[in-house]
Chain A
Amino acid sequence: MKVLLPLFAVIALVVLAVVGVKGAHLNGLFGIVIPYAAFVIFLGGMIARVTGWARSPVPFKIPSTCGQQKSLPWIKADNLESPHNTAGVIGRMALEVLFFRSLFRNTQADYRGGDQKLTYGSEKFLWAAGLAFHWTFLYIFLRHLRFFLEPIPFFVPFLEGLDGLLQIGVPRLFMTDLVILAAVTFLVVRRLMLPQVRYISLPADYFPLFLILGIAISGILMRYFIKVDLVGVKALTMSLVTLSPRVPEGPIGSVFYVHLFLISVLFAYFPFSKLVHMGGVFLSPTRNQANNSREVRHVNPWNYPVKHFTYEEYEDEFREVMIGAGLPVDKQADTPAETAE
Chain B
Amino acid sequence: MMLYDAGKIIAGLVIFAAFFTVPFWYGGGKTSEMPKLELTAQARQAGQCVEPKERMRQDHMQLLDDWRDAAVRDGNRTYTSSTGKSYTVSLQNTCMDCHSNKDKFCDRCHGYMGVSQLYCWDCHLDPTEEKTVWASTDGNS
Contact = CB atoms under 8 A, between A and B. Distances in A.
Interface of A: 42-43, 46-47, 50-51, 54-58, 145-146, 148-150, 152, 156-157, 160-161, 164, 170-172, 227-231, 234-235, 237-239, 241-244, 248, 250-251, 253, 279, 282, 301
B5 A170 contact: no
8 contacts: A54-B5, A150-B32, A157-B116, A170-B65, A172-B117, A227-B61, A231-B109, A244-B31
A231 B16 contact: no
A50 B9 contact: yes
- 8 smallest CB-CB distances across A and B, nearest first, come from A148-B23, A241-B23, A238-B32, A227-B58, A146-B114, A152-B114, A170-B65, A54-B9
B29 to A, nearest CB: 8
B4 interface: yes
Interface residues of B, number: 38
A321 B13 CA distance: 59
A43 B34 contact: no
A156 B114 contact: yes
A231 B34 contact: yes
Contacts of A152: 114
A298 B26 CA distance: 43
B46 interface: no
A55 B13 contact: no
A108 B24 CA distance: 46
Which of A150, A160, A250 has the largest number of chain B CB atoms within 10 A? Answer: A150
Interface in B15-40: 16-17, 20-24, 26-27, 29-32, 34-35
B62 interface: yes
Given A164-B117, A301-B4, A242 B9 contact: no
B17 A43 contact: yes
Contacts of B24: 241-243
Contacts of A146: 113-114
B112 A54 contact: no
B129 interface: no
A51 B3 contact: yes
Given A150-B27, A231-B112, 18 more contacts: A46-B16, A47-B16, A50-B9, A50-B13, A50-B16, A51-B3, A54-B6, A55-B3, A56-B4, A149-B23, A149-B27, A227-B62, A231-B57, A234-B112, A238-B32, A241-B24, A242-B31, A301-B4
A55 B2 contact: yes
B123 to A, nearest CB: 14
Interface string B31-54: 110110000000000000000001
A241 B13 CA distance: 20
Interface in B53-99: 54, 57-59, 61-62, 64-65
